[in-house]
């Protein structure tokens, strides 16, 4: 709606993203301190003379962090620079112990990539590496500020997009896709709520017929959820549109997102690159990489989300919506593949007589529905699940063979989720096996027909609903354990 409003007023949004991702390395960027991502319970415990900038200390680059950024670059179609370096970015703020940040300016590790969302390619200008800052703590009711340096020096990857994004929704989807790729690469959890991933949006508007970058750019910081990324951008588009309609000038500035008010608020005048007085970091020599090094990094690339989606569609013949859910998390996709492997083995060994494609579809359905519902109710992730893939596969094969009905299946799966127990044992203990013995069912059906003579007459008079009623009575008498297909067949034969 906002986008349509802009076009109606002949203003077109131009959005570029700057996204910071804390890397999950063992140590910090330039020292041997433990990398706790700044989430330590006690302040200033994972610090040393290097990350607190004591005189005479020297930084030593973290090789694991450099490889992680290069891996992300390759995953996003970037070119890896064979010549690179670190730079000093000078600015004074209490959480910057050195008075400058070691970052990268004109020779980032990765350049010119792209990420496709909804069929549209978003260009990636660069991905570079820097160190994170400390955290300022403002205790309530006092007039002082505390500094926690646990986060100072944590490796921080920054990705800058081209101004190819046009809506808040596109920005949100881009950030979510980037998070998924970081998790697949296992370089970061990219959890926005924990501050592992921080998003900033640069937004401007230009008039139809003018240059795309002719508008004044406003940066929005402090966005800590995907939902707020979309909301903040949409609000800023609307704010700038209204200002331009009133003939006012947009000021180049940094604004913050106030989630409580649902609006952006002015923070400070936007700095330019020359304000930071970049120059090459004198304590770290430049880097030179060769093609063999790049090839070695490429060999470390795992199967990426889009590749996995395509393979799952072909190999498992599942609907695209199901595949996207199952592959949304690397661990969930691997769990599903382990289950499918167990299903195939049980079928090939003649342990169960069920159709493979149907069993795989059931495995996906119960994973997307019931299993994820239990996880959501208990606040669990996949690591918390007690159900082993072998037991889940056995449960699916039993269900696929028709040995339990859907109602019993929910009971079995709930008990499996609670205890991690064997499905066959649970079915036996709870007496949940489906009744498919024709002789036994015939006796029960005869009793039901005698008790419901009117429904028998109604059915013979052509009322189909009477058949459903009679089958329902049989199911109620057997407490849902009767096989409904067999019941229907017997009832029809008896009413001929």
Q: How far apart are the first and last CA of the chain?
A: 61
**Where does 28-142 show beta strands of DSSP type E?**
79-80, 83-84, 87-90, 100-103, 110-117, 120-131, 135-137
d(CA 382, CA 375): 8
Q: Could you identify the residue written with the tokens 């400390």?
A: 134
Can you give the pTM of this predicted structure? 0.87
Nearest CA among 287, 51, 71 for reference residue 188? 71
Domain 438-494 - what CATH class? mainly alpha
The burial of 380, by beta-carbon neighbours within 10 Å (0-12 exposed, 13-18 middle, 19 or more buried), is given as middle
Query: Sign of torsion, CA 315 320 322 324?
Result: positive
Helix (H, G, I), strand (E, B) or coil at 253: strand
Could you write out the three-class secondary structure of 423-434? HHHHHHHCCCCC
Please report, for the chain, how many H helices and E strands are present, in that order: 17, 16
Ramachandran class of 427: left when φ > 0, alpha when ψ lies in -120 to 50, beta otherwise: alpha
Query: CB of 153 within 8 A of CB of 31?
Result: yes
Domain ranges of the chain: 2-298, 305-429, 438-494
Query: Sign of torsion, CA 36 42 48 54?
Result: positive
d(CA 492, CA 346): 35
Neighbours of 359 (CB within 10 A): 23
Nearest CA among 15, 22, 161, 18 for reference residue 78? 161
Tokens of 283: 């304590």
Tokens of 192: 């926005």
Type and span of the H or E element at 442: helix 438-451
Query: CB of 22 within 8 A of CB of 196?
Result: yes
Tokens of 358: 């149907």
Per-residue pLDDT of the chain (496 residues; tens, 9 = 90+): 444 444 445 899 999 999 999 999 999 999 999 999 999 999 999 999 999 999 999 999 999 999 999 999 999 999 999 999 999 999 888 889 999 999 999 999 999 999 999 999 999 999 999 999 999 999 988 989 999 999 999 999 999 999 999 999 999 999 999 999 999 999 999 999 999 999 999 999 998 888 888 889 999 997 989 999 999 999 999 999 999 999 999 999 999 999 899 999 998 776 555 688 999 999 999 999 999 999 999 999 999 999 999 999 999 999 999 999 999 999 999 999 999 999 999 999 999 999 999 999 999 999 999 999 999 999 998 989 999 999 999 999 999 988 888 888 999 999 999 999 999 999 989 888 877 656 667 778 778 788 887 887 777 777 778 778 887 887 777 776 777 777 777 777 777 7
- The CA-CA-CA angle for residues 413, 384, 361, to 5°, reads 45
Query: Sign of torsion, CA 172 177 179 180?
Result: positive
At residue 7, the pLDDT reads: 44
* CA 298, chain centre distance (Å): 23
Q: Could you identify the residue written with the tokens 């007459």?
A: 457
Phi then psi dihedrals of residue 263, to 5 deg? -150, 165
Nearest CA among 451, 443, 446 for reference residue 495? 446
Q: Could you identify the residue written with the tokens 């002015």?
A: 266
Query: Sign of torsion, CA 225 226 227 233?
Result: positive
d(CA 382, CA 369): 14
Residues 6+ away with beta carbon under 8 Å from 420: 386, 387, 388, 391
Q: Could you identify the residue written with the tokens 């015939």?
A: 442
Neighbours of 369 (CB within 10 A): 13
- For 48-73, b/e burial (b = at least 16 CB within 10 A) is eebbbbeeebebebbebbbbbbbbbb
| Strands 135-137 vs 146-148: parallel, antiparallel or unpaired | antiparallel
Neighbours of 471 (CB within 10 A): 19
Neighbours of 284 (CB within 10 A): 17
């Amino acid at each position: 709606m906002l986008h349509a409003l802009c076009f109606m007023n002949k203003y077109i949004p131009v959005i570029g993203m700057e996204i910071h991702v804390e890397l999950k390395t063992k140590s910090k960027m330039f020292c041997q301190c433990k990398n706790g991502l700044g989430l330590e319970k006690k302040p200033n415990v994972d610090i040393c003379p290097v990350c607190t900038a004591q005189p005479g200390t020297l930084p030593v680059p973290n090789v694991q962090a450099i490889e992680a950024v290069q891996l992300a670059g390759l995953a996003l179609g970037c070119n890896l620079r064979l010549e690179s370096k670190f730079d000093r970015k000078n600015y004074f703020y209490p959480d910057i112990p050195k008075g400058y940040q070691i970052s990268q300016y004109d020779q980032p590790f990765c350049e010119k990539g792209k990420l496709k969302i909804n069929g549209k390619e978003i260009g990636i200008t660069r991905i570079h590496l820097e160190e994170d800052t400390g955290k300022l703590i403002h205790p309530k009711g006092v007039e002082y500020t505390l500094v926690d340096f646990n986060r100072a020096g944590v490796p921080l990857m920054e990705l800058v997009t081209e101004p190819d994004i046009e809506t808040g929704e596109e920005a949100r989807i881009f950030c979510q896709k980037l998070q998924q790729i970081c998790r697949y690469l296992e370089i970061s959890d990219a959890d926005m709520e924990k501050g592992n991933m921080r998003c900033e949006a640069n937004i401007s508007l230009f008039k139809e017929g003018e240059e795309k970058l002719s508008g004044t750019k406003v940066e929005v910081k402090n966005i800590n959820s995907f939902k707020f990324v979309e909301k903040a951008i949409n609000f800023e588009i609307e704010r700038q549109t209204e200002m331009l309609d009133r003939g006012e000038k947009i000021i180049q500035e940094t604004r913050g997102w106030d989630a409580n008010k649902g609006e952006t608020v002015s923070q400070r005048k936007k700095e330019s690159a020359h304000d930071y007085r970049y120059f090459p970091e004198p304590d770290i020599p430049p880097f030179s990489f060769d093609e063999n090094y790049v090839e070695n990094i490429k060999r470390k690339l795992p199967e990426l989300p889009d590749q996995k989606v395509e393979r799952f569609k072909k190999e498992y013949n599942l609907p695209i919506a199901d595949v996207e859910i199952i592959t949304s998390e690397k661990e969930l996709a691997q769990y599903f593949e382990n289950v499918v492997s167990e299903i195939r083995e049980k079928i090939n060994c003649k342990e169960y007589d069920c159709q493979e494609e149907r069993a795989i579809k059931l495995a996906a359905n119960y994973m997307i529905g019931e299993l994820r519902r239990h996880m959501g109710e208990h606040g669990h992730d996949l690591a918390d699940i007690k159900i082993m893939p072998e037991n889940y596969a056995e449960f699916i094969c039993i269900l696929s063979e028709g040995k339990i009905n859907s109602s019993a299946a929910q009971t079995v799966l709930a008990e499996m989720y609670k205890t991690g127990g064997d499905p066959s044992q649970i079915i036996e203990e709870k007496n949940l096996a489906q009744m498919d013995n024709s002789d036994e069912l015939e006796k029960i059906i005869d009793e039901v027909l005698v008790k419901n003579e009117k429904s028998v007459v109604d059915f013979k008079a052509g009322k189909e609903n009477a058949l459903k009623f009679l089958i329902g009575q049989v199911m109620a008498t057997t407490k849902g354990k009767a096989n409904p297909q067999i019941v229907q067949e017997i009832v029809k034969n008896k009413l001929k």
